[in-house]
Structure 1
Amino acid sequence: MVNNPQFDNLPPIKLIPLNDEAVSVVQQQGRRSATKTSLPTDIRWVKVLEFLRSNNLAPNSRKLYERELKRFLGWTQLHYHELRPRHLGLYKEYLRDEVKTDSGKPLSKSSINAGAAALKSFFKWMCYTYPDIIATNPTLGIKLEKVPLPPAQSLTDEQMERVWSALELLGETKQRDTALVHILIHGLRAGEIVQLNVGSFDGKLLFLPNTKTNEPRLVPLRSESRDVLEAYLQSRSEQGEDLTSLSPLMISHHASYKGERLSYHGIYFAVEKIGELAGIEDLHPHQFRHTYATDLLLLGVDPSHARKLTGHQSEKAFRRYTLRSEQEAAIAAYYRAIGEEAE
């Protein structure tokens, strides 16, 4: 070895022995480091999460959007600015021809449309929020499948009588659930009811600041429903609850969440239980909304006013309710024309 005076004054190298535990820690740190570098964050998914947070989506809608957008990102590795309408056309073919349900059947036209609608909504938001990333919406040319409008799932008068009778069979939740049904029969969505506070009710109207269409809505309540809601709130006050304008209008009776805001799933569970007692299979909250919309038109309320009351943005979606009222009017006109009373 050649001596180099330049290194004569350097301190000697000291080797520090590592015991087994120390070696294990170093190895684990190395593995964690390797894991972090081998799984980079997908920036595309970050934008999806931002989209989901920035939109006022009902729980079910959020779950659907998240599922469909995750499926799309799993189908392609292209970044958003690289996507073209042809890619979206190929993806729609993929949904139609290759994706299967849990039972092994092809996706229905409604399911394909749900996937396409989620993409349309997301890319519209991306173009508006990040025009520097994506200037042209690649979903503009995507056409939705033609699907016949499903009939309204309105409850009959006889079924509603069974619902009212079933409420009398409830125990601890009887007063709460009776008030809940009285709100549901005025066409509110479950997600809208979750957000209601005591201050949302002024004794006559319900004020909904946040709705599915992002437009505030006033819902007038009939006299009996106002009385039921007043009695429910009075009962809670008498039981020692300090009600303020920000207190939840509907509260949970679940042991783990007692006194807290009634959740979206809590509403569905309550209605499902009422359906079991009433002997109505698969009763769900939205059926009361369908019933309300249908009844408004049968009462002769102008369709434009009815849509304002229900908060329907789409005239096409509301068409299912006008069909029945028009049919009823046609039947009545026929019996008048032949001089007979309609049964």
Structure 2
Amino acid sequence: MNHNTDYLPAIKLIPLDGESSLKIAGIRTTKTSTPTDIRLVKVQEFLRSNNLAPNSRKLYERELKRFLAWTQLHYHELRPRHLGQYKEYLRDEVQTDAGKPLSKSSINAGIAALKSFFKWMCYTYPELVTSNPTLGIKLEKVPLPPAQSLTIEQMQRVWSALDLLGETKQRDTALVHILSHGLRAGEVVQLNVGSFDGKLLFLPDTKTDEPRLVPLRKESREVVAEYLQWREQQGEVLTSDSPLMISHHASYKGDRLSYHGIYFAVEKIGELADIEDLHPHQFRHTYATELLLLGVDPSHARKLTGHQSEKAFRRYTLRSEQEAAIAAYYRAIGEEVE
């Protein structure tokens, strides 16, 4: 038998989908596309499975991708020491666009995203991640930010600004009344007509995954009811599944008001009220502060606002305690509290 290589058949590799053929030294081979990082697939699944507000989703995605770029280890290979090293990396090497080190709050945002992700991984894929590598990683100690509550005078300007609106007046008035009862913008988006029973708002989907009932003031109940009546007068057929807040944008008219739509509406109201950078969450801060100034028990107030963390709610109790101390001082010296 002749073993001369001239008589050997040419080597032929059959390319798979997504691959291109190359010739190297007379041998046909293939160039494969970059394989998908299976770790990123889990991150995307995590983001889809959580009820995250758009801004929170973007933050989590950014921080988790940053972590994946830092290490090539698979999730089951990670240990607490690796997470400790990553925290040092965030603190010592990562810089902002302005070339400054990350703030403690930014470092905490990165660590918090990892803690949330690995908690989900341990629950969803216990055979893949048997122990949470983030449990021993502590967050940086940062002072609690003050509540961004609106003053009485600012709220008066908001109510006055609503009268200056045109087509969106009815909707935006109802929107501000709802926001001023402590709802997050993402929670307002999910509200249906059936969520309002004439007195209470029922929130089945919240940030803490716990349903919540929110009682509305008499004036607010009437405003929301009038808004729904106005929509029916415009010819809309309302059902329990109809969105409670609808868009007036030319491209989405009649559709559910989006998260960004709420921010845009509030921003416009802020311009009319001459309040710089007004955003929906300020109404939530104002509501929580008002509850405590009215003397509502903090545990009841937390139930109404849907705060899971007692520490996060502490910013509001500080304000009410300060106000109570000031009032006690004036009473003690015989002066009237203004």
Q: Is the alpha carbon distance of 1:242 and 1:337 closer, same or farther for their aligned partners in structure 2, counting shifts above 3 Å? A: same
> Which runs of 5 or more residues in structure 2 are unaligned?
3-17, 23-28
C-alpha separation in 2, matches of 1:242 and 1:122? 42
Partner of 2:308: 313
CA distance in 1, matches of 2:100, 2:261: 31
SS of aligned partner of 1:218: strand
Counterpart among 21, 26, 30 of residue 20 in structure 2 = 30
Residues 1:281 and 1:31: Cα distance change in structure 2 (over 3 Å): farther
Is 1:184 matched up with 2:179? Answer: yes
Q: Deviations over 1:125-149 (max 9, x none)?
A: 1111111111111111111000100
The one-letter code sitting in structure 2 at the alignment partner of 1:290 is H
- What are the residue-to-residue correspondences of 1:193-342 with 2, within 5 Å? 193-342=188-337
Q: Structure 1 residues 29 and 108 mapped into 2: Cα distance closer, same or farther (>3 Å)?
A: closer
Matching residue's letter, 1:297: L
Look up the equivalent residue of 1:225 and give its one-letter code. Answer: S
1:59-97: CA deviations, max 9, x gaps?
111111111101100111100111111111111111111
What TM-score do the two structures reach when normalised by structure 1? 0.90
| Residue 311 (structure 1) shift | 0.3
Count of equivalent residues: 318
Native 8 Å contact 2:19 2:33 kept in 1: no
The sequence identity of aligned pairs, in percent, is 86
Where does residue 131 of structure 1 map in the other structure? 126
Distance 1:72 1:53 in 2: 19
The aligned residue for residue 8 of structure 1 is none
* 1:45-84 paired onto structure 2 within 5 Å: 45-84=40-79
User: More helix by proportion, 1 or 2?
Assistant: 1
| C-alpha RMSD over aligned residues | 1.8
Runs of 4+ in 1 over 3 A off after TM superposition: 31-35
Structure 2 counterparts to residues 151-190 of structure 1, below 5 A: 151-190=146-185
Tell whether 2:91 aligns with 1:96: yes
Letter aligned with residue 201 of structure 2:
L
Match of 1:124, SS state, is helix
Tell me by how many angstroms 1:39 deviates. Answer: 0.8
**Structure 2: distance between partners of 1:328 and 1:132:** 52
Q: Deviations over 1:195-231 (max 9, x none)?
A: 0000000000000000000000000000000111011
- 1-structure distance, mates of 2:279, 2:151: 14
If you compute each CA radius of gyration, which structure gives the higher value, 1 or 2? Answer: 1
Structure-2 change in CA distance of 1:68 and 1:338 (3 Å): same
- The answer on whether the counterparts of 2:302 and 2:313 sit within 8 Å (CA) in structure 1 is yes
Aligned equivalents of 2:178, 2:126: Cα separation in 1: 42
